[in-house]
């Protein structure tokens, strides 16, 4: 796919998520890795609902910025996924989606796997979702925390902040982060209802059938 088409697709997916309330205002950011390891990334302070393909910033593999805008302050977070997950990581999406943020603030959660196993699809698209601690937005320590996972997780939830997902390409990353938000919504709806989750054998059958990374 050409770079111009990728720029258009970033704006298209961003607009779709904005219109459906998955992010708001000037929150959230998206990046896509090009074949030469340069990165296209949304600019700082931009709104998903009003992105222009020409505003997308290119960051070369040597760190040079190409474009008239400043990249999102969360760029180190994106770069950490590309660095540690290699060819498994072709795009990164970060949202401030309401239900995911709410789940990140609940007490007594499993920080190693914060989402319950309600459906096979969250397992298939996300694997285990790690809860990371709170960082001030733009803190490079977020990237270091991702590097500390050694490429073992494709999805994390930043406490009091929001989800970050990296997939093989832009579309799969968007699908996965939407699945994360939907599962978080289910978790809140069912929080006091004692729902029946998939049992260990059922979870393992999904992992085995779809060859899911599950440590």
Decide if 117 is inside a domain. Answer: yes
- Please give the Cα distance from 46 to 69 (Å, whole number): 10
**pLDDT tens sequence for the chain (215 residues):** 899 999 999 999 999 999 999 999 999 999 999 999 999 999 999 999 999 999 999 999 999 999 889 999 999 999 999 999 999 999 999 999 999 999 999 999 999 999 999 999 999 999 999 999 999 999 999 999 999 999 999 999 999 999 999 999 999 999 999 999 999 999 999 999 999 999 999 999 999 999 999 97
Residue 46 lies in a domain: yes
- Whether residue 90 is contained in a domain is answered as yes
Q: How many domains does the chain have?
A: 1
Nearest in space to 22 (alpha carbons), one of 72, 78, 95, 126: 95
Sign of CA dihedral 152, 157, 161, 166: positive
What is the CB neighbour count within 10 angstroms for residue 178? Answer: 21
DSSP 3-state assignment of 195?
A: coil
The contacts of residue 188 (CB under 8 Å, 6+ apart) are 99, 102, 103
Half-sphere exposure of residue 57, counting CA atoms within 13 Å on the CB side? 21
Active site residues: 74, 121
CATH code for the domain in which residue 84 is found: 3.40.225.10
Q: Cα separation of 165 and 175, whole Å? A: 10
CA distances from 104 to 45, 108, 150 (A): 24, 10, 22
Instruction: Give the dihedral sign, CA 78/79/80/85.
Output: positive
Q: Is residue 215 part of a domain?
A: no
Q: Supply 160's token pair.
A: 């009091």
Does 62 reside within a domain? Answer: yes
Q: Which domain holds residue 13?
A: 3-210
């Amino acid at each position: 796919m050409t770079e111009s088409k990728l720029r258009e697709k970033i704006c298209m997916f961003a607009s779709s998520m904005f219109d459906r309330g998955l992010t708001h205002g000037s929150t959230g950011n998206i990046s896509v890795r090009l074949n030469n390891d340069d990165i296209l990334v949304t600019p700082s302070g931009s709104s998903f609902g009003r992105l222009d393909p020409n505003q997308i910033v290119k960051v070369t593999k040597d760190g040079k910025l190409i474009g008239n805008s400043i990249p999102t302050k969360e760029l180190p977070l994106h770069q950490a996924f590309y660095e540690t997950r290699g060819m498994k990581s072709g795009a990164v999406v970060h949202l401030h989606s309401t239900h995911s943020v709410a789940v990140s603030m609940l007490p007594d959660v499993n920080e190693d796997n914060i989402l319950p196993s309600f459906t096979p699809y969250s397992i298939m698209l996300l694997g285990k979702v790690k809860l990371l601690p709170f960082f001030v937005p733009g803190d490079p320590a977020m990237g270091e925390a991702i590097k500390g996972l050694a490429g073992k997780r494709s999805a994390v939830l930043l406490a009091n902040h929001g989800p970050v997902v990296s997939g093989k390409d832009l579309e799969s990353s968007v699908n996965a982060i939407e699945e994360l938000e939907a599962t978080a919504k289910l978790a809140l709806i069912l929080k006091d209802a004692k729902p029946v989750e998939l049992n260990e054998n059922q979870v393992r059958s999904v992992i085995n059938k779809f060859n899911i990374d599950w440590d």
